C-alpha cells in the first residue's frame, strides 16, 4: 500500500502535494517523492524516509509548477531506497508515474520491455508501467500519451491506483486509473486533485468523486472526465463530506493516536447517530450470519458474534483472509464485513468470494470500495483516523454493533463513560513505566471480554514491539502457563460480571507461578491480588453490558504510553501501514 496524490490548478503543485502526502503517510511511510512539470521541464525529487524529513531535506515546496504528482511508499517490490521511491519515469524521462498496488505480471512485462532495449532504474513493479507506456507511444501512429495510457492499462494484471503525466503531452493534464486500489477526485474551484483518500484533499475542497474499478480519469485545468477502460466517457456521482480539515490535524496533541483516543468521547455520539435500521432488519431475517474482517475490525466482529450468540443467533466471525478456506456461504447466509478503511484487500476478496449472499458493510469511509460491493452500508462516522493503530474507529464500530443489538437508548451514557475512563491516564502511565522493559506481556479475559483482550494485545504489540498474546483465561492451563515465570506481566480484564469467578481462578493460577498481575476491575478481591489495578466504575454506576467500552480506553492508553516511553512513534510503527490494499 502506498498513497498517491496529483494536483492541477493555480497553486504551487509541490506545496499542495507535500501537504497532502502528510495525510497519506498512514498508508506507507518508507519513502516519498514529488514530480512537477513547469514550462515542459520535469523536476523529480524523492528519497527514502518520512514526508517531513525528506520534504525538508530536498526542499519539495520550492519546486515550481502548477501540475504534479506525489507518492508515499510502503515497499512491496524492491527494498527501501531512493531508486525505488516513486514517482518513476521511462527511459526518456518523459512519462512520469506513481502507483499504489501490485502488478502481478510485472516480471513478464519487464523481460519483454528489457528485450526491446528499455533500461530500468529501480526494482519496482511500477517503473515498468512508465516504460510500457513509452513503448506503446512508440507503437502508436500519433505517439499519443492518452492512447498509450489506455493501451498499457489493458496489459496490467493485479491492482493499481495510478497517477501519471507526460512532460511532452499536447496539453497540461493528469491521468489517473484505478483497479482494486482506492482513488478519489477532489473538485475545487479552478483546481482539481485526485488522491488515495479524502483527508489529503480536505484543505482545498469538500466535493469528491470516488472512482470505480476500471475507471480512468483525466484532469485538466478546466475540468475532469472519467472514462471506462475502452475509452467511453462515464458519469460518476459527486458527493460532499462534512469532515473539516482540522479533523485531520493533531489538534495540539503530540501524536494522532493520543488525539484519536481522546476524540472517542465525541465520535461515539456521531457513531450512535448512524442509521442502522436497514442493517438490523436484514440481520433479523437471517439465521446464519458470517462476519468477516481483519485486525482490529475482526475484534469488533468477534464481539458482534458473541453478542448475537447471546441472543441465540448463529453468528460466526472469520478472519477475512481465511474465510474462503473455511466455509462455503450460500444464499441463506448473511455476510457482514467490517472495515474501517473499506479498502482492505483481504476483506474485499472475502466479500467477492461470498457470491450470491446478501452483504452488509460497516465502514468509516464514504465512497470506499466496500460501499460499492455491499447491499447495505452502515457508516461508523468516526471521522478520519490517521494513526496506524485503530482506536476511535474500534469504539465506533462497537457503538454501531451495540446499537444494532440493543438500540440507542441504552447507550446514551457511553460518551461520559469514555470520558471517565480517559481519567485513568495517570495510573496508566505508572503502569506503562513498570511494563516498558518487559519482553512478553499476556492478556487474559473470559466471555465477551475476550475480544477486548485480543484488541488490547494487538494494540500493544503493534506500537511497542513487545511480544504480547491474549488468551481466554481457561486456555492458560492448556499451554501458555509454561511461559509464566517470576515477574511476567499478566493483564487481567476482570470486570465484576458473569466471567469473574472463573477468571479469578486463572489470575490465582498465574500469580502462584510468579506473574505480575495488572488488573482492570471493580472487584475488591481482584484488586487485592493485583500488583497494579485500573479501577472500573463501581457496579452501581455502570450497566455491565458497557464494560467493553470502559476497558478498551485505558488499554489503548497503555499501549500508547509504553510506545512513547520506548521512543517509538505510535502513529507510524515499523513495517505497518493503515490501509492494506494488498493480500
User: Which positions are annotated as active-site residues?
Assistant: 2, 578
**Of 106, 29, 97, which is closest to residue 69 (Cα–Cα)?**
97
Q: Which of 344, 424, 464, 499 binds ligand AGP (CB under 6 A)?
A: 344
Least distance (Å) from ligand AGP to the CB of residue 364?
8
Q: Which is nearer to ligand AGP, 295 or 383 (CB)?
A: 295
Least distance (Å) from ligand AGP to the CB of residue 140?
40
Q: How many CA atoms lie within 13 A of 432 on its CB side?
A: 23
Q: Which residues, in sequence order, are bridge partners of residue 359?
A: 335
Q: Does 563 bind ligand AGP (CB under 6 A)?
A: no
From residue 96 to residue 135, the character string flagging contacts with ligand AGP as x (rule: CB under 6 A) and all else as - is ----------------------------------------
- Cβ atoms of residues 237 and 209 within 8 Å: yes
Least distance (Å) from ligand AGP to the CB of residue 443?
15
Interface of this chain with ligand AGP, residues 382 to 401, rule: CB under 6 A = 388-390
Work out whether the CA dihedral 124, 126, 127, 131 comes out positive or negative.
Answer: positive
Q: Does 556 bind ligand AGP (CB under 6 A)?
A: no
What does the block give as the cell for 522?
471493580
Q: Which is nearer to ligand AGP, 136 or 344 (CB)?
A: 344
Interface of this chain with ligand AGP, residues 289 to 308, rule: CB under 6 A = 294-297
Residue at shortest CB range from ligand AGP = 295
Q: Which of 44, 261, 308, 347 binds ligand AGP (CB under 6 A)?
A: 347
Least distance (Å) from ligand AGP to the CB of residue 459?
6
Least distance (Å) from ligand AGP to the CB of residue 390?
4
Least distance (Å) from ligand AGP to the CB of residue 342?
7
The widest CA-to-CA distance across the chain, in whole angstroms, is 83
Q: Which is nearer to ligand AGP, 13 or 390 (CB)?
A: 390
Q: How many residues bind ligand AGP (CB under 6 A)?
A: 16
**What is the spatial distance between Cα 158 and Cα 179, in angstroms, rounded to a whole number?**
8
Interface of this chain with ligand AGP, residues 167 to 196, rule: CB under 6 A = none
Interface of this chain with ligand AGP, residues 430 to 489, rule: CB under 6 A = 462
- Cβ atoms of residues 474 and 450 within 8 Å: no
Q: Does 341 bind ligand AGP (CB under 6 A)?
A: yes
Which backbone phi and psi does 383 adopt, to 5 degrees?
A: 75, 170
3-state class percentages of the chain: helix first, strand second, coil last, to nearest 5: 40, 25, 35
**Stretch near ligand AGP under the rule CB under 6 A, chosen from 32-40, 302-310, 337-345, 486-494:** 337-345
CA dihedral 98, 101, 105, 110 (to 10 degrees): 20
Q: Does 340 bind ligand AGP (CB under 6 A)?
A: yes
- Number of other residues whose CB lies within 10 A of the CB of residue 46: 24
What does the block give as the cell for 567?
521512543
Question: Which residues, in sequence order, are CB contacts of 333 under 8 Å at separation 6+?
Answer: 286, 288, 289, 290, 354, 357
Q: Which is nearer to ligand AGP, 95 or 551 (CB)?
A: 551
Least distance (Å) from ligand AGP to the CB of residue 347?
5
What does the block give as the cell for 556?
489503548
**Of 453, 498, 496, 497, which is closest to residue 473 (Cα–Cα)?**
453
Which backbone phi and psi does 489 adopt, to 5 degrees?
A: -75, 135
Q: Which of 128, 428, 580, 582 binds ligand AGP (CB under 6 A)?
A: 580
Site residues for ligand AGP per CB under 6 A: 294-297, 339-341, 344, 347, 388-390, 462, 578-580
Amino acid at each position: 500500500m502506498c498513497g498517491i496524490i496529483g494536483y492541477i490548478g493555480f497553486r504551487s503543485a509541490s506545496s499542495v502535494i507535500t501537504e497532502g502526502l502528510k495525510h497519506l503517510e498512514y498508508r506507507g511511510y518508507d519513502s516519498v517523492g514529488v514530480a512537477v512539470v513547469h514550462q515542459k521541464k520535469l523536476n523529480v525529487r524523492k528519497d527514502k524516509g518520512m514526508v517531513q524529513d525528506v520534504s525538508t531535506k530536498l526542499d519539495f515546496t520550492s519546486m515550481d509548477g502548477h501540475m504534479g504528482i506525489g507518492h508515499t511508499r510502503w515497499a512491496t517490490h524492491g527494498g527501501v531506497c531512493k531508486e525505488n521511491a516513486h514517482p518513476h519515469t521511462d527511459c526518456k524521462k518523459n512519462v512520469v508515474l506513481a502507483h499504489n498496488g501490485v502488478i502481478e505480471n510485472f516480471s513478464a512485462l519487464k523481460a519483454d520491455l528489457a528485450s526491446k532495449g528499455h533500461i530500468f532504474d529501480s526494482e519496482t513493479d511500477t517503473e515498468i508501467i512508465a516504460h510500457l507506456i513509452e513503448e506503446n507511444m512508440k507503437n502508436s501512429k500519433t505517439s499519443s500519451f492518452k492512447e498509450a495510457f489506455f493501451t498499457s492499462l489493458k496489459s496490467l494484471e493485479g491492482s493499481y491506483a495510478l497517477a501519471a503525466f507526460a512532460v511532452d503531452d499536447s496539453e497540461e493534464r493528469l491521468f489517473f486509473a484505478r483497479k482494486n486500489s482506492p482513488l478519489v477526485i477532489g473538485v475545487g474551484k479552478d483546481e482539481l486533485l485526485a488522491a488515495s483518500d479524502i483527508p489529503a484533499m480536505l484543505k482545498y475542497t469538500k466535493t469528491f468523486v470516488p472512482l470505480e474499478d476500471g475507471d480512468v480519469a483525466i484532469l485538466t485545468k478546466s475540468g475532469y472526465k472519467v472514462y471506462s477502460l475502452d475509452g467511453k466517457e462515464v458519469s460518476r456521482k459527486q458527493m460532499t463530506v462534512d469532515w473539516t480539515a482540522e479533523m485531520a490535524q493533531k489538534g495540539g496533541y503530540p501524536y494522532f493516536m493520543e488525539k484519536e483516543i481522546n476524540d472517542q468521547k465525541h465520535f461515539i455520539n456521531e457513531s450512535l447517530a448512524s442509521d442502522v435500521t436497514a442493517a438490523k432488519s436484514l440481520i433479523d431475517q437471517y439465521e446464519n450470519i458470517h462476519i468477516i474482517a481483519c485486525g482490529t475490525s475482526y475484534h469488533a466482529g468477534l464481539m458482534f458474534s458473541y453478542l448475537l450468540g447471546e441472543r441465540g443467533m448463529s453468528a460466526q466471525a472469520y478472519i477475512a483472509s481465511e474465510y474462503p478456506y473455511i466455509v462455503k456461504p450460500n444464499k441463506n447466509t448473511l455476510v457482514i464485513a467490517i472495515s474501517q478503511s473499506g479498502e482492505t484487500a483481504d476483506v474485499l476478496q472475502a466479500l467477492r468470494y461470498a457470491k450470491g449472499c446478501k452483504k452488509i458493510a460497516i465502514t468509516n469511509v464514504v465512497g470506499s470500495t466496500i460501499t460499492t460491493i455491499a447491499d447495505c452500508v452502515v457508516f461508523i462516522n468516526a471521522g478520519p483516523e490517521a494513526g496506524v493503530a485503530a482506536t476511535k474507529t474500534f469504539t465506533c464500530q462497537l457503538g454501531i454493533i451495540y446499537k444494532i443489538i440493543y438500540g440507542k437508548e441504552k447507550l446514551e451514557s457511553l460518551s461520559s463513560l469514555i470520558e471517565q475512563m480517559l481519567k485513568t491516564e495517570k495510573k496508566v502511565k505508572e503502569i506503562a513505566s513498570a511494563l516498558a522493559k518487559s519482553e512478553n506481556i499476556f492478556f487474559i479475559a473470559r466471555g465477551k471480554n475476550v475480544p477486548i483482550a485480543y484488541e488490547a494485545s494487538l494494540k500493544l504489540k503493534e506500537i511497542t514491539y513487545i511480544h504480547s498474546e491474549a488468551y481466554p483465561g481457561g486456555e492458560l492451563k492448556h499451554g501458555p502457563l509454561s511461559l509464566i515465570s517470576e515477574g511476567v506481566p499478566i493483564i487481567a480484564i476482570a470486570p465484576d460480571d458473569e466471567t469473574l469467578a472463573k477468571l479469578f481462578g486463572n489470575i490465582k493460577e498465574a500469580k502462584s507461578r510468579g506473574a505480575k498481575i495488572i488488573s482492570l476491575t471493580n472487584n475488591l478481591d481482584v484488586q487485592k491480588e493485583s500488583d497494579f489495578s485500573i479501577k472500573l466504575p463501581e457496579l452501581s454506576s455502570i450497566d455491565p453490558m458497557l464494560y467493553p467500552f470502559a476497558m478498551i480506553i485505558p488499554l489503548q492508553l497503555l499501549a500508547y504510553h509504553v510506545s512513547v516511553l520506548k521512543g517509538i512513534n505510535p502513529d507510524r510503527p515499523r513495517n505497518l501501514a493503515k490501509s492494506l490494499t494488498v493480500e
